């Protein structure tokens, strides 16, 4: 019997098909700091681990993709922690969420998608979107990608 083969990133599986990379798909439905940071932390980390990482910004999350948008608030339930979080971010001890997205896009396969329905709902045009956006997509595209993702998260 053949020895089991190590399952490295590009090791061919039996049958010669390369093993597909792991993938995480995240729906980001809030533009608040306490929601954006976990989503972007996981996506950028996945990207530098060689995974595919996909972020689908929808509903209020889409605001974060507007050109020039500065996230500066936490969710209303956690307002008491807002000042200390803003101080931590200003200190530079954590990378900024845009910086994390940029690093993930540069070093790995991180994609950012904007929800087409929300764009219509909020009156956001393609020209209003940040250059970080890879494409404008709908529900069917997300479902097709999420179907084969190893991890699917909805962060709201």
8 binds another protein (CB under 8 A): yes
Can you tell me which residue has the tokens 């764009």? 119
Q: CA triplet 50, 52, 54: central angle to 5 degrees?
A: 145
The 105-134 contact track toward another protein, x by CB under 8 A, reads: -xx---------------------------
**Least distance to another protein, CB of residue 156, Å:** 21
Give the C-alpha separation, 33 to 79, whole Å.
Answer: 11
Partners of 115 in beta bridges: 137
The 59-98 contact track toward another protein, x by CB under 8 A, reads: -----------------------------x----xxx---
22 binds another protein (CB under 8 A): yes
Residue among 88 and 117 whose Cβ is closer to another protein = 88
- Kindly write down the DSSP assignment for every residue of 108-141, as one continuous string: SEEEEEEEHHHHHHHT--GGGB-TT--EEE-HHH
**Least distance to another protein, CB of residue 128, Å:** 28
Between 33-48 and 97-107, two packed helices, what is the crossing angle to 10 degrees?
A: 20
Q: What is the contact surface with another protein in residues (CB under 8 A)?
A: 8-9, 22, 41, 44-45, 48-51, 88, 93-95, 100, 103, 106-107
């Amino acid at each position: 019997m053949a020895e089991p083969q190590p399952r490295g990133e590009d090791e061919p599986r039996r049958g010669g098909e390369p093993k597909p990379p792991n993938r995480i798909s995240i729906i980001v439905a809030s533009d608040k700091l306490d929601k954006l940071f976990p989503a972007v932390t996981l996506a950028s980390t996945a990207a530098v681990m060689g995974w595919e990482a996909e972020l689908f910004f929808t509903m209020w999350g889409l605001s974060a993709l507007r050109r020039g948008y500065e996230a500066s608030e936490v969710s209303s339930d956690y307002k008491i922690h807002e000042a200390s979080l803003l101080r931590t971010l200003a200190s530079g001890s954590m990378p900024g969420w845009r910086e994390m997205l940029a690093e993930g896009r540069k070093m790995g396969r991180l994609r950012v998608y904007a929800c087409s329905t929300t764009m219509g709902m909020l009156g956001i045009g393609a020209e209003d979107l940040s250059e970080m956006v890879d494409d404008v997509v709908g529900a069917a595209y997300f479902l097709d990608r999420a179907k084969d993702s190893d991890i699917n998260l909805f962060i709201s």
